[in-house]
Structure formats: structure tokens, C-alpha cells
Amino acid sequence: MKARFAHVLAALSLAAAATGVAAQTVKVGVVLPYSGVGAEFGQQVDRGMQTYLKLNPNAFGPYKVELIKRDSKSPSGADAKTAVQELITQEKVDILAGFVYSPDAIASAPLVTEAKKPMVVMNAGTAWITNLSPMISRVSFSMWHSGYAMGEAAVKSLKAKTAVIGYTDFPPGKDSLQAFKLAFEKAGGKVIDEIPMGGPGQVPDFTPFFQRAKDKKPDVFYVFVPSGDHAVAVMKTYAALGMRQAGIKLIGPGDLTPDYKLQGMGDDAVGLITIHHYNADLDNPLNKRFVAAWKKEYGADSSPDFMGVQGYDGMAAIAHIVVTQKGKIDADGAMASLKGWKFNSPQGPIMIDPNTRDIVMNEYLSELVKSGGRLVQKNIGTINAVKDMCKELKEGKCK
């Protein structure tokens, strides 16, 4: 009896395996800036995706996944659009993923709507991107996640009454400014100056802007600049002008403290307070495993960053789609499966909001301290399940 049962079971599983093998390979088109000004970001996201695949080899069940990578080149949107068009028509991909720059995601939206292909955004931060198409979901963030949360935290945790805001003059900067200001003033604080600090292309000399902020003597100086070159220059200028000694706290979203550049910032950065959904020092077992795997593959000096974990989470979302859709991707079914999807990421618990298809995640308030000769992000507060407040409050273009 048992033997016959075992035989039947074996036959059934063989059949199941055979069906699995016969299912087609799921093709994912990955559009990232592999060259040009965004190359370091593209590299982070790509590595995050690879690390997920390495740590979770069975995440896709019996189904095979093929990643087809295309360079989105400069943040003009046009190259991304051409790449997406060809991925859909020529390569016949099932899912689109990636998109570091907002213009790239924005330009591609009409294509994925027309072709009905799920698009997983892994970085582009303009709040209303998810409103552009029912096919778009986002696992990364909008500027409002960190900006709004920091506005509240600045008043409640840091006891600040006045703030000066410095921001790079382009939509993510303006978004961040708006988000922070709304929350800060709602909580009772007052923004006494808003300083646009050049564009995202070239790094300006921040000295004149920071000097102007210093002269206003606020409690906190909230700064948003693109991660990378800008962030480093901000740290250096803050230290060079002696603003901390003057009693002005520098705060901002985690874009200011890219983990893979942290050690190079030196002692100048100690005392910086940031808020973000991820930093490499987060103390949970999944993150420790993530960081260890990363360093093993890419070098002890390297480090994952918020973009790396977004690549990781994005891959997990894709795996979820593939498994629930059993290897044959139906666009509406895929989007339905993402709504309300929960996942334990190295950054903590995340969820895709069923109404907006945007991410809901924790925001961690951290202070940069020196520990054991290294710069470390020390957690001083956690805000759970933060939504994108722009769409929640229907501000501006987020209606």
C-alpha cells in the first residue's frame, strides 16, 4: 500500500517537474544606467539583484528567469524609452524592471500601459510615477517617504523649532522640500529659508549656500542632494564651515550618506542625522546576511546601499510574480498578486500598498557615530509602515 502510494507520488511529482521544465523562461528586461553619470547607481541596483539571486536560488521555484540588460545611458528618458520599446517588441520580455532616474520611468509608462507589461520600479523617486500607469509598481521609495517622516521627526525627536532647507533644484529636490516643510510645519515648526543649491548635473561649490544657511542660525539644516558626488561635497562643506560647532544640526534623507562612500567622509560626518528606509548597519539577521554576501562578492571595502537593497527587493517582487503566476505572466494577474504583497527584506518588513502600488516600509532615524575606528549609523528611532504621503494627502500632482 505504502509502496504504491510512494509510486503514485513519485509519478505525480515527476509530472509536476516535467510541467515546470516545460514552462517557458520568464524574461525580465532590466533598464538601468550602466554607463554615464548614473553608472554607480546602476551598479548598486544590479548588484542587489544579483545578490538576491545568489542568496535565494530557489525563489523562483521550478521556473527559469532570464535577465536582459539594457543601458538607459543619460537621464534623458529617450534612451530608456527606446530600450523598453525594443525589449517589449523584439525581445518579448514579460516584465520590465530597473529605472534609476525618474525621467526614464516617466517616459516608459505609456509603453507598458499599451503593451500590458508589469513594470517594477527600483529607484525613480518622483511621487506620482505610480499614478502614470496601472502596470507600474514601486519597491524603492518616493521623496515623500523620507522627507515627510523627517519633518515630523525633526520636531518630535530632535526638538527643532526652526529649519532652513537646502535642496538641489530639480523635481526630487523640490519634492523633498515640499514633503519636509509640510510635515515640519504641521508639527509646529517653522521653515525660515529655502535655498536652491544648483542643479543635479554639476556639483556646485556649496559654500555660498551653506554660508547663507549658517547666517540664519536655524536649529536644523535640512539638506537634500542627489546621492554620490553631491552628498560628499555637502559633508565636506558642512565641516569646513564649522556649522556643527555653531550649533546647527545637519539632517536629511539617507541620500546624504551613501553607505559605500561613508568611510571616505571622515570624521567630518560624525553627528549627521539622517532618515531612510535602509542603511547597511541595520541590525537584523537578514541584513547581516545580505551585507556579508555583498562584501564577499564585491570586496570588503564595498557596501550595499539603499539602491542595492532596492534591487534585492525588486528581484523578490519579480520572484513573487513568477511563482504566483506559475511561470506564465498575465499582466493583470501579476499586478493583482503584487497588491498587498508583504516581504521580509534586509531593510525590514515591506509591503506594496494595494491602492497606490507604491511601497510601504519603515523609516529609520540614524545618527552617524564613530565606533571601532569606523563610521557607523546608530539607530535612534524607527517609524513603522510609512506610506507615500504625497498620494495619501493628494498633494499637488499626486492626486
Window 35-74: residues binding another protein (CB under 8 A): 35-37, 39-40, 42-43, 69-71, 73-74
Q: Identify the residue among 20, 61, 62, 77 touching another protein (CB under 8 A).
A: 77
Q: How far apart are CA 228 and CA 51, in angstroms?
A: 22
Is 204 a binding residue for another protein by CB under 8 A? The answer is yes
Closest to 252 measured CA to CA, from 390, 158, 170: 158
Minimum separation from the CB atom of position 296 to another protein (A)? 17
Q: Which of residues 5-24 bind another protein (CB under 8 A)?
A: none
Is 88 a binding residue for another protein by CB under 8 A? The answer is yes
Per DSSP, helices labelled H in 157-284 are: 171-186, 207-216, 229-240
CB nearer to another protein: give 79 or 152.
79
**What is the residue-wise DSSP string for 132-191?**
S-TTEEESS--HHHHHHHHHHHHHHTT---EEEEEE-SSHHHHHHHHHHHHHHHHTT-EE
| 137 strand-pairing partners | 120
Is 78 a binding residue for another protein by CB under 8 A? The answer is yes
Is 106 a binding residue for another protein by CB under 8 A? The answer is yes
Instruction: Report the 10 Å Cβ neighbour count for 246.
Output: 10
Q: How far apart are CA 56 and CA 58, in angstroms?
A: 5
Minimum separation from the CB atom of position 56 to another protein (A)? 24
Give the interface segment with another protein, choosing from 103-111, 156-164, 360-368, 375-383 (CB under 8 A).
Answer: 103-111
SS3 318: helix
Q: Which of residues 245-274 bind another protein (CB under 8 A)?
A: 260-261, 264-266, 268
Q: How far apart are CA 101 and CA 85, in angstroms?
A: 17
Is 107 a binding residue for another protein by CB under 8 A? The answer is yes
Under DSSP, the state recorded for 6 is H
Minimum separation from the CB atom of position 110 to another protein (A)? 6
* Residues in CB range of 194: below 8 A, 6 or more apart: 164, 165, 167, 177, 181
| 382 strand-pairing partners | 364
Site string for another protein, 227-246 (x = CB under 8 A): -xxx-xx--x--xxxx----
Closest to 346 measured CA to CA, from 303, 297, 296, 301: 303
CB nearer to another protein: give 169 or 392.
169
Site string for another protein, 152-191 (x = CB under 8 A): -----------------xxx--------------------
Q: In angstroms, what CA-CA distances link 148 with 55, 86, 126?
A: 33, 38, 14
Is 200 a binding residue for another protein by CB under 8 A? The answer is yes
Number of residues lying near another protein (CB under 8 A): 72
Is 391 a binding residue for another protein by CB under 8 A? The answer is no
Is 202 a binding residue for another protein by CB under 8 A? The answer is yes
CB nearer to another protein: give 356 or 362.
356
Q: Which of residues 111-140 bind another protein (CB under 8 A)?
A: 111, 114-115, 126, 132
Q: Identify the residue among 55, 64, 82, 270 touching another protein (CB under 8 A).
A: 82
Q: How far apart are CA 165 and CA 251, in angstroms?
A: 10
Is 308 a binding residue for another protein by CB under 8 A? The answer is no
Minimum separation from the CB atom of position 377 to another protein (A)? 18
SS3 49: helix
Minimum separation from the CB atom of position 225 to another protein (A)? 11
Minimum separation from the CB atom of position 89 to another protein (A)? 4
Closest to 68 measured CA to CA, from 37, 91, 85: 91
Minimum separation from the CB atom of position 168 to another protein (A)? 10
